Structure 1
Amino acid sequence: MAHEPNSHFQPSWYSAFESAGTEGREQQQRAFDRLWRAFMGARVLVAVVLALLQVFLLVSGISGSLPLTGLSGLYLVFTVLVLVFLRPRHQGRVPPLHWLMTIGVDVATFAIMQSMQTGAVNYTPLFALPVLLGAILGPLTLALGTAASVTLVLLLDAWMASNGLSSQDTTRFVQTGLAGTGLFLVALLAHQLAIRLAREEALAASSQAAARAQARVNEVIIDNLSIGVLVVDLHGVVRNANPAAQHMLMGDRYPEGARLLLSARNGWEHLAALVSDTFAAGQPLETETTIEHDDRPSQRLLARTRLTASEGRRAGLCVLFLEDLREVEARVRTEKLASMGRMSAAVAHEIRNPLTAITQANALLDEEVKEPAQKRLTGMIEQNATRLSRIVDDILNVARVQPSQSAGGAPVVPLDASVRVITGEWNAQVQPGHRLGVHTHAPKVQVAFEPEHLRRLMVNLLDNAERHASAQPASIRVITQPSGAEHVRLSIWSDGPPLEATVLRHLFEPFFSSESRSSGLGLFICRELCQRYGAHIAYQRTQLDQREGNEFYVLLPLAAPPARHSRPPQQAA
């Protein structure tokens, strides 16, 4: 029958771990098992001493007793069995079985030995063992109850040994009372001390767990930093390095689990000198340096050092930070271009009004002129004014947040037909020749997308592919194909070289470009257009016809066909 927790039981000392969750309960059980084994080992040791003592007294004939010898032997066997087979567990209250098999047996055994003693041997000090066992492993109620039962046993033994009210009997009762009082004090003090020690151990375990968790967090942060971090000692030995630093210094050839000497590596002498100067100066230093590689281009780095605090006579460590200068320069350039972009938005807004006036004046002038040469001039003015208007719109679209256009508000266009029209126009204008290949595999698919926006999206991606593609046939591919039940995939692939990691991190950011003449708005505008219509644009390195290349793909949501279809973009004359 299951027992409900008893609210009258005071918590034992190891209950200090109960509020720490699963880990606290495991720590509580480990602490309880450790002390339980210690006490059970002490009981076996006491039983061995008692058995040897009784055998010695029996053999020597001093004051031996065969019943006491047998009792001590049985007690020894019992303590060994309890040590080997009994494994009590804490269950929120004190289970009575293992206490009855330990404290009860101890008190009964020592009481029988005390009453049957025939010589000068006094077994009273042995009663401290069950009292301490109850005080340390059990609740205070059990400890005081054990002390009370031992006191009653001692008083009963003193009363049975008395012959009256002689002075010797009075002394015996006083000594028994003092012994009982001492046992009560021992039980109380041992229990309070055990509680205090348990709280300290629980606090230490909690602090250790928090320290381990913080160390794991720090490891995750350092391992995922794009900045290289090396820990170097006073002798120039690399104690530790995060993955970014390993890749910067040696790429994939960095030896795992090995400590490297900076001065012993070719091309690292300047890093060793920087660390040595930092220890000598006792302050942080920084410099620009270059790492030469055998299997890849050299790498320009910004190296910065920081010293850790020293521990006594031991010198601290030097933390060496390595940062790719290309990424630093790209970040600075991005910040500058972002500032210029905000200024450009203000300028573009001011340009729009006079540009509108120029367009209107050119339209009026076109109505007046009749000669073909003048018509060509007005046509050039109109063409370039339209181009300037689109540039102004691009800048203003970047500067302000565009609301998402619902699928119902966007015109529905057939994707394959639109793709063929747009690629045909781009082919006629750029003339890539045999490099362009168009493969449409979604003939009945329709998407909700503004035709002009779809044109801008594809032209930006095609221009980007044309700049990086090789001169081989079919080095640029445009592919459409269904993707699941709700999307269609539009991909533009080129066989260009892989993008650098520093470029990948800022691929779709505004005003970021790997080319000096580019404004850095192309891919950003593509992403903005896709988000406006619920599409998703991404980049990946893929293989097509056994050739590696760069692929920009757009996942477009399918649109239900309307009653009247919007016409695809018309072929330019």
Structure 2
Amino acid sequence: MFTQAPVEAAVQKAGATQDSAFVRLWLGFATARVAVGVALVLLLAGSMLLGPQPVSGWLVGMCATYLVAALAVRLFMRPATHPGSAFDPQWVSSIGVDLLVFSCLQFLQAGGIYYSPLFAVPVLMASVLGSTLLALGTAAAVALILLAEAWVLALEATGDLAHRFLQAGLSGIGFFALAFLAHQLALRLEREETAARQGRKAAQMQAQVNQLVIATLGDGVLVVDLDGHVQAANPAARELLGPGAQLREAPLQLAAQPAWSQVAAMAQRTFETGQPQVADVAVQHGAGLPRRMFVRTRLAAAGDQPGDSLCVVFMQDLREMEARLRTEKLAAMGRMSTAVAHEIRNPLAAISQANELLDEELKEPAQRQLSALVRQNAQRLSQIVEEILDVARVQHHSPQAGTVGPELDPAVRGFVQDWTDQNQSGGRVQLALGAPGEHIAIEPDHLRRLLVNLLDNALRYASQSPDAIQVATSVEGMPVLTVWSDGAALEPAVERHLFEPFFSSESRSSGLGLYICRELCERHGARIGYRRRASPGGDGREGNAFFVAFRTAAPPAVTAEFAKMTA
């Protein structure tokens, strides 16, 4: 049983694009109609001029008109269908014109030519490109035309004309069979084209997803053929291979640069043995240190022939692997240090208390000196324990919108005054406050801890001269706090690890002060950094400056108004 017209399903779904099989079939039928028109004009014109049977000139003109119409359809029209429309005007006009012209030629027997085979063109066109109703209707119309011609001949002639009716009936049955078979083939073509289109869409989507995943991978991926050509490389792989790979498009030649020779050798061994390879490889980038990589290869069959296989190379930067391992070790060490600090704090408090009680009984200077030494080291241990516990105390939250933040300048002035009184270093600290009225998004206690850690760090390396430590505030798009000291410049190796935990250039420091500062800044959306610069006081001295850029917070008046509006 016939179903929906294939052209209505296929051409509409494909958007009448040139890659549709039905569009190509329509173009083929349109070209065939032009060829039929040319043949009819030539045959009838030849018969009119040279044939024994006279041919009317209006028949030649009709064929010429048919040729012009067919040529216009071929050049200027394209298939346009609508779902559910059984008779598209374009198909009906083309098929109707064919039936009209061929019927006139068949009835008149112009030039003594048998024109019945020409009806195969509109029948095939309706069956392949039209709906079920159009296909059956066209076949029925052709059968009726042939029977009508036989009836007309029976009226005009005498004798037994049964063979003409038989011939017309058999021809009609043949056209019905032709329409049925052609339509079934068209339906099958439509189903296969739809399935192919869906499969192609799924394959394209999968390929896009694969490309996106590979392009965003942190590990490098290379696809190498048997000749050592890199057929594909993601950005991470180009970064690992160096400038020579970044400036060129695929395919690259691994043997083109000596720095890639180890990777090329691993790929070649993979092809020769068929087994995956694993090794640590060093790629030299210019005159700097070589980049060490962990390289794995896998063989992927891309076709039936052995030469079609591809080698997939996975590359990992050993520096990143070591950094992740170091981070995990530091996290484990931090958890262990916190637990140890909790266990140390109580015995340490007991030692300090016992030392104070013992100190009251001591009279000799040497013994009191030993007691003072115990007190100093106990205080140092207590400070280290508190710094370790400070890391665990930092809460993982950020200030909410509308939260009241401290005003930067008064808070900094008060905290600096407390610190200088405690450390008896007021003459070495200079204040330069330049952010009046700026409220920052950080808790006051965290701001105090941040500033005290930066001042302790500055005091450790500053000289004894006046104004060796300078604390300044400013507004540079965001409120900025700067703690400057006139210490010596940091070595590059020290500068790279400034904010890492347990890193210090001094043996008597826990290495947690700057790490706690960084953690506090991250919790409150602030940014901390270091640079070598001139002093904020403008005296031209070079020193080490630690700066913190804060997010702004709502002042108390705005927050109170906001609370009234939302109450």
User: How does the TM-score come out when normalised to structure 2?
Assistant: 0.76
Contact 2:338 2:389 in 1 (8 A): no
Match of 1:233 among 218, 225, 235: 225
Structure number with bigger Rg:
2
1:457 aligned residue: 450
1:5 aligned residue: none
Deviation of 1:60 after TM superposition, in Å, equals 2.0
2:46 aligned residue: 56
| 247-256 vs 550-559, greater mean Cα deviation | 550-559
Q: What is the alpha-carbon distance in structure 2 between the residues aligned to residue 467 and residue 250 of structure 1?
A: 42
Deviation of 1:331 after TM superposition, in Å, equals 1.7
Deviation of 1:351 after TM superposition, in Å, equals 4.0
Contact 2:529 2:546 in 1 (8 A): yes
2:295 aligned residue: 303
| 510-519 vs 325-334, greater mean Cα deviation | 510-519
Amino acid at match of 1:221: V
Determine whether 1:72 maps to 2:66. Answer: no
Deviation of 1:287 after TM superposition, in Å, equals 1.4
Structure 1 residues 519 and 560: alpha-carbon distance in aligned structure 2, compared to 1, 3 A threshold: same
State the SS of the aligned residue for 2:435.
coil
1:481 aligned residue: 475
Q: Which runs of 5+ in 1 are unaligned?
A: 1-8, 564-573
2:81 aligned residue: 90
Q: CA RMSD in A?
A: 4.9
Structure 1 residues 35 and 251: alpha-carbon distance in aligned structure 2, compared to 1, 3 A threshold: same
5 Å-filtered alignment, 1:214-229, equals 214-229=206-221
Match of 1:162 among 151, 154, 168: 154
Structure 1 residues 481 and 190: alpha-carbon distance in aligned structure 2, compared to 1, 3 A threshold: same
Deviation of 1:270 after TM superposition, in Å, equals 2.6
2:181 aligned residue: 189
Deviation of 1:262 after TM superposition, in Å, equals 3.0
Determine whether 1:205 maps to 2:201. Answer: no
Q: What is the alpha-carbon distance in structure 1 between the residues aligned to residue 108 and residue 421 of structure 2?
A: 115
1:339 aligned residue: 332
Structure 1 residues 18 and 267: alpha-carbon distance in aligned structure 2, compared to 1, 3 A threshold: same
State the SS of the aligned residue for 1:447.
coil
Amino acid at match of 1:286: V
Structure 1 residues 89 and 15: alpha-carbon distance in aligned structure 2, compared to 1, 3 A threshold: closer
Deviation of 1:116 after TM superposition, in Å, equals 0.5
1:568 aligned residue: none
1:422-448 per-residue CA deviation (whole Å, 9 max, x = no partner) reads 67859998x9x99x9987542111235
State the SS of the aligned residue for 1:556.
coil
Deviation of 1:375 after TM superposition, in Å, equals 8.6
Deviation of 1:384 after TM superposition, in Å, equals 3.1
User: How does the TM-score come out when normalised to structure 1?
Assistant: 0.75
Deviation of 1:74 after TM superposition, in Å, equals 1.5
Contact 1:334 1:512 in 2 (8 A): no
Amino acid at match of 1:37: L
Q: What is the alpha-carbon distance in structure 1 between the residues aligned to residue 82 and residue 390 of structure 2?
A: 71
Determine whether 1:275 maps to 2:267. Answer: yes
State the SS of the aligned residue for 1:244.
helix
Deviation of 1:488 after TM superposition, in Å, equals 4.2
Match of 1:180 among 150, 172, 181: 172
2:131 aligned residue: 139
2:520 aligned residue: 529
Contact 1:498 1:550 in 2 (8 A): no
Q: What is the alpha-carbon distance in structure 1 between the residues aligned to residue 286 and residue 421 of structure 2?
A: 42
Determine whether 1:329 maps to 2:322. Answer: yes
State the SS of the aligned residue for 1:312.
coil
1:18-66 per-residue CA deviation (whole Å, 9 max, x = no partner) reads 896xxx4465995554333222111101111111111222222233412
1:442 aligned residue: 435
1:55-85 per-residue CA deviation (whole Å, 9 max, x = no partner) reads 2222222334123322211111111122223
5 Å-filtered alignment, 1:378-397, equals 380=376, 383-384=379-380, 386-397=382-393
Deviation of 1:231 after TM superposition, in Å, equals 2.4
Q: What is the alpha-carbon distance in structure 2 between the residues aligned to residue 537 and residue 139 of structure 1?
A: 70
Q: What is the alpha-carbon distance in structure 2 between the residues aligned to residue 109 and residue 512 of structure 1?
A: 98
Structure 1 residues 14 and 207: alpha-carbon distance in aligned structure 2, compared to 1, 3 A threshold: same
Structure 1 residues 520 and 31: alpha-carbon distance in aligned structure 2, compared to 1, 3 A threshold: farther
Determine whether 1:113 maps to 2:105. Answer: yes
Amino acid at match of 2:326: R
Q: What is the alpha-carbon distance in structure 1 between the residues aligned to residue 17 and residue 468 of structure 2?
A: 66
Contact 1:17 1:28 in 2 (8 A): no
State the SS of the aligned residue for 1:444.
coil
State the SS of the aligned residue for 1:235.
coil
Contact 2:438 2:552 in 1 (8 A): no
Deviation of 1:112 after TM superposition, in Å, equals 0.6
State the SS of the aligned residue for 1:446.
coil
1:4 aligned residue: none
Structure 1 residues 87 and 270: alpha-carbon distance in aligned structure 2, compared to 1, 3 A threshold: closer
Q: What is the alpha-carbon distance in structure 1 between the residues aligned to residue 101 and residue 457 of structure 2?
A: 94
Deviation of 1:151 after TM superposition, in Å, equals 1.6
Aligned length: 531
Q: What is the alpha-carbon distance in structure 2 between the residues aligned to residue 468 and residue 323 of structure 1?
A: 40
Contact 1:334 1:511 in 2 (8 A): no
2:234 aligned residue: 242
| 259-268 vs 330-339, greater mean Cα deviation | 259-268
Q: What is the alpha-carbon distance in structure 2 between the residues aligned to residue 270 and residue 263 of structure 1?
A: 9
Q: What is the alpha-carbon distance in structure 1 between the residues aligned to residue 266 and residue 302 of structure 2?
A: 19
Q: What is the alpha-carbon distance in structure 1 between the residues aligned to residue 190 and residue 431 of structure 2?
A: 75
1:364-395 per-residue CA deviation (whole Å, 9 max, x = no partner) reads 77898899868956863673354144234235
Deviation of 1:363 after TM superposition, in Å, equals 7.4
Q: What is the alpha-carbon distance in structure 1 between the residues aligned to residue 518 and residue 193 of structure 2?
A: 56
Match of 2:31 among 35, 38, 41: 41
Contact 2:10 2:20 in 1 (8 A): no
Structure 1 residues 349 and 541: alpha-carbon distance in aligned structure 2, compared to 1, 3 A threshold: closer
1:3 aligned residue: none
